[in-house]
Amino acid sequence: MTEPVQYRPILIACINPDTFPDVALYVKSGPNFVLYKPAERTITQQDLQRLEQNRADTLYIRSEEMPPVASFLEETIGEIMHNETLQPQVKGQILSQVAMNYVMDLFTTPDRLTDVERCRNLVRQLMQFITQHPTAFDSLHAVVEHDYYTFIHSVQVASLSMLVHAEIYQLPLYELEDVGIGGILHDVGMIFIPTTILEKPEALTNFEYTLIKRHAQRGYECLRDLGGFSEISLAAVRFHHERYNGDGYPFNLKGNEIPRTAQITAICDVYSALTSNRPYRSAISKQDALTLMEREGNSIFNPDLMARFKEIIGTKPSEE
């Protein structure tokens, strides 16, 4: 089971001084978290301006204080998305924060997986955002350092996969949401892998790697047993490490034996990993990731889907 992270990042864009719950906020200074404002002092507009001048975009909240904040944001997200005075970029950042809170919540309290509707609501918001503000797509990936990688990675894979499915296929909305649910939960089986292995900065032993590889099937079994998840979502979870040339796991499926959603989830998964900072290597640029995947990946990914992916992602504006 993943250990609870002690501090959770909160994007400053999410903090509206009039409505934000009164909790202590911290800043990160090197490896330490330093109190920025105690719970009893309300954060002001001037604080936010000063933070902006200092180019800070993230504050931190102690994990145990996060639930009221997360619920507050989740309850107000519909309103925020309809607020016409907010820039799409800001909306995207807030939405990515809400989705990330949800994934962190699941990884620390897996019982919450039973609430499939909560997952569907979030995915629906993501999907609406992607269709309404295609040029603000990058703002969904605003959060943060590699410590929170697993959580934001899940949100990235979900949003990329929905975008690609929506552009290539005519799917009913409900199925697109199933694609998103599969994306958000594709690595949920990691909750069964010891944190010491997941966070190990050195190379893994063969045995540790075998354990990690179980996450696809374990995640699938867990969701299947809970019930309420569609075949599309389950396929994304179970088969996202299968490879087009048969070199993947858990079943060495080949070509179109691999369900289409899982083929696309695999491409989004690798792209998200390459373009994120990890403890053992820095992110590479989007363009380099696409070139690398096309060059090296043409046997491991479906070449037609890879070409479409490149077309779709290549046309999205980049903040780099």
Which residue ranges make up the site for Fe ion (CB under 5 A)? 187, 269
Of 213 and 316, CB closest to Fe ion: 213
Nearer to Fe ion, 127 or 198 (CB): 198
Q: DSSP label at 8?
A: E
Cβ nearer to Fe ion, comparing 198 with 306: 198
3-state secondary structure of 176: helix
Q: Which is nearer to Fe ion, 26 or 301 (CB)?
A: 301
Match 């290539």 to its residue by tokens.
Answer: 168
**In contact, 171 and 315? CB cutoff 8 Å:** no
d(CA 187, CA 182): 9
- Residue 150 CB, nearest approach to Fe ion (Å): 8
| Shortest CB 93 distance to Fe ion, Å | 22
Nearer to Fe ion, 47 or 187 (CB): 187
Q: How far is the CB of 44 from Fe ion (least distance, A)?
A: 40
**Closest by Cα among 212, 226, 217, 209 to 262:** 217
Q: Least distance from C-beta 260 to Fe ion, angstroms?
A: 18
CB of 157 to Fe ion, least distance (A): 6
User: Which residue has tokens 């479409």?
Assistant: 308
Least distance from C-beta 51 to Fe ion, angstroms?
32
Q: State both tokens at 195.
A: 């944190």
| CB-nearer residue toward Fe ion: 59 or 232 | 232
Say which DSSP state 203 is in: P
User: How many Cα atoms are found within 13 Å in the side-chain-facing hemisphere of 48?
Assistant: 13
Phi, psi of 227 (to 5 degrees): 80, 165
Residue 167 to residues 60, 71, 160, 197, 241, Cα–Cα distance (Å): 36, 32, 11, 37, 23
Which two tokens mark 265? 């989830």
